[in-house]
Amino acid sequence: MRDYSLIYLNGVRKEVRGREALLMLADWLRKEEGLTGTKIVCAEGDCGACTVLRAFPQIDNNPLQFEAINSCIATVAQMDGSHLLTVEGIQNGQELSPVQKAMRECHGSQCGYCTPGFVMALTGALEKHQSLDKKTACNYLTGNLCRCTGYQPIIEAAITAKQSEEHSVSKRYLTKDTVADLSHHQKESLLIKSGLITFFAPVTLQEAVQFASENPGFKVLGAATDMGVQTNKGKPLPKHLLSLHLISELYEVRKEDTRISVGARVTLAQLRRAVEKTNPEFAVFLNLFASPQIKNAATLVGNIANASPIGDTLPFLLVSHGKVHVASIEKGSVQKREIAFSELFLDYKKLALKPSEIITHVSFDETCQDQILKIYKVSQRKDLDISTVSGAFLLKTSLQGKDKKIEEARLAYGGVAATPVRLPEAEKALQGKVLDSKLIHEVSELIGKIISPQTDLRGSQTYRKVLAMNLFKKYGREVLHG
Ligand X SMILES: Cc1cc2nc3c(=O)[nH]c(=O)nc-3n(C[C@H](O)[C@H](O)[C@H](O)COP(=O)(O)OP(=O)(O)OC[C@H]3O[C@@H](n4cnc5c(N)ncnc54)[C@H](O)[C@@H]3O)c2cc1C
Q: At closest approach, how far in Å is the CB of 30 from ligand FES?
A: 11
Name which position in 20, 33, 46, 281 contacts ligand FES (CB under 6 A).
Answer: 46
- In this structure, what DSSP letter does residue 308 have? -
**Alpha-carbon span 42 to 30, nearest angstrom:** 15
Considering only 10, 75, 303, 328, the residue that binds ligand X (CB under 6 A) is 303
Per the CB < 8 A criterion, the answer to whether 393 and 420 are in contact is no
Task: Single out the segment in contact with ligand X by CB under 6 A; choices: 51-59, 94-102, 269-277, 299-307.
Answer: 299-307
**Considering the rule CB under 6 A, would residue 7 count as an interface residue with ligand X?**
no
Quick check: 309 binds ligand FES (CB under 6 A)?
Answer: no
Binding-site partner at residue 67 among ligand FES, ligand X, none, CB < 5 to 8 Å by type: none
Q: Which own/partner pairs from 230-233 qualify as long-range (CB within 8 Å, at least 24 positions apart)?
A: 231/24, 231/73, 232/24, 232/43, 232/44, 232/72, 232/73, 233/44
Site string for ligand X, 356-395 (x = CB under 6 A): --xx------------------------x-x---------
Other beta carbons less than 10 A from residue 356's beta carbon: 19
Torsion of CA 337, 340, 343, 348, to 10 degrees: 100
Which residue's Cβ has the minimum distance to ligand X?
A: 302
Residue 27 near which of ligand X, ligand FES, none (CB within 5-8 Å, type-dependent): none
Of these partners, ligand X, ligand FES, none, which one is at the site of residue 386 (CB under 5 to 8 Å by kind)? ligand X
Q: Which does 42 bind (CB under 5 to 8 A by kind): ligand FES, ligand X, none?
A: ligand FES
Q: How far is the CB of 158 from ligand X (least distance, A)?
A: 21
CB of 57 to ligand FES, least distance (A): 25
Question: What would the DSSP string read from start to end of 181-192?
Answer: HHHHHTTS-EEE
Selection from 326, 314, 337 nearest residue 360 by Cα? 326
Which residues, 6+ apart, have CB-to-CB distance to 277 below 8 Å? Answer: none
80 binds ligand X (CB under 6 A): no
Site string for ligand X, 202-241 (x = CB under 6 A): -----------------xxxxxxxxx-x------------
**Which residues inside 88-117 make contact with ligand FES, applying CB under 6 A?**
109-115
Identity of residue 264: A
Residue 370 CA neighbour count, 13 Å, CB half: 10
Rounded Cα–Cα distance for residues 464 and 346 (Å): 21
Residue 313's nearest CA partner among 213, 387, 259 is 387
Residues in contact with ligand X by the rule CB under 6 A: 44-46, 73, 219-227, 229, 244, 264, 289-290, 294, 298-299, 301-303, 305-306, 311-312, 358-359, 384, 386
Residues in contact with ligand FES by the rule CB under 6 A: 40-43, 45-50, 70, 72, 109-115, 146-149
